[in-house]
Structure 1
């Protein structure tokens, strides 16, 4: 299912489920066997630009929601302002970072300040866990702001449980250490490539995913590998080879006509292809 909305109604609430209502951002399916309604996994694009944000936009940031739990995946430039159109800063339960380039972490500092200010104004906020790798110790240390956020190292070779989400990792090919993520909850799987040049290991990593959020910083025929990025054709090759349900092209370039990326990817991938944009929502 696909939604596109900018309305400030999609919020995570820590509230008991009322069987006659939809609670905040959580959408429910009816279980025909016993009348129970199960929460759907939901992904909202907060930011999608590569490098720097266009006017009034944001770089990489994605809000994952399931069963009332809010997980922010990456927190790039402009993300905090855009996030508040979909959930309050206080509602975040966790953040996870793929790597420490500014277009993926620039708003970690403002997020820490926002939580600090809300706490000083009387909000009863727990320390917010921010998960990251430790291959850049200085950058990892900045994920912690005493009493406000705590940097927690993830094991790239293991499985990380964050609320209802189960996350596994794959190291990508990028100028700095970076990890793709396979995120599962409620029987659904989303794969986020983060930043990388094309490598065949993406095919088994993304195999059977319901949604592939794939970086696409270059057009077909361009040489993306030296920059540690991918073309539309390479993104489509992963989607087709892994037989994913849907492909989102993200980390978009500041040049050219973005619709061309979809046209190019469509020559290889026969499924649904969407351009990431602020407010794009997937829920299943």
Structure 2
């Protein structure tokens, strides 16, 4: 049965590292949540390592720039590991061919232009029109503020008929941008699969992003899995992925599912929480309303 806690410091002593989700846990897409920076810097001050583990479909450097603009201090974390990093590696390895059609907003162009050092000079990935593509790379809808997955059904029917695989750079279904809920690449990839297409995933809850996170953590000194705490609000991504990796989990109930646990976001109703978790067959070790 999950234990409801009031602060990260209350449970942090047994852990050497955090794998901490971003959207819904550290920020809402506009600004960091109150108390988050203090909680993370406090963990680091005691010798812990903080890896921000996010399903953002962009290389880590662009996520860091976004966090800078929001006002999250660099002192709050040691490294960033993104779904985009893991998916990029797969793309350059040829997972969906060398001629690809990009489905996603312009802000994600860094996925193609920021070539990782290990792939520079090794292979050329060419962005081409849909009609010329060997595969698709999905980082989200073209217009994430207005479009829904069903808008892409006609294009996906054609893609399926051509046998095009889809590389999904962000398995999240939705996120909350301030007060607005928007669809992510995962929702598009799920629709394509439902239609009979083939989608490939590299972010949470799938193993590649955790493998990459462990490699990054090893470069920082490493930690046994038993001393890594995963923090997240996505029950089918953050929680399911970490539990599948054998990691302890701190579930942020005030994130995507905040409206399920009573009127006080900071203090989830224990009975509502247990009913909701049991229905989803998830049992995170700890739960907190908001990370603090």
* TM-score between the two structures when normalised by the length of structure 2: 0.30
Report the TM-score when normalising by structure 1: 0.30
Relative contact order higher in (CA < 8 Å, ≥ 6 apart)? 2
- More helix per residue: 1 or 2? 2
User: Which is greater in Rg?
Assistant: 2
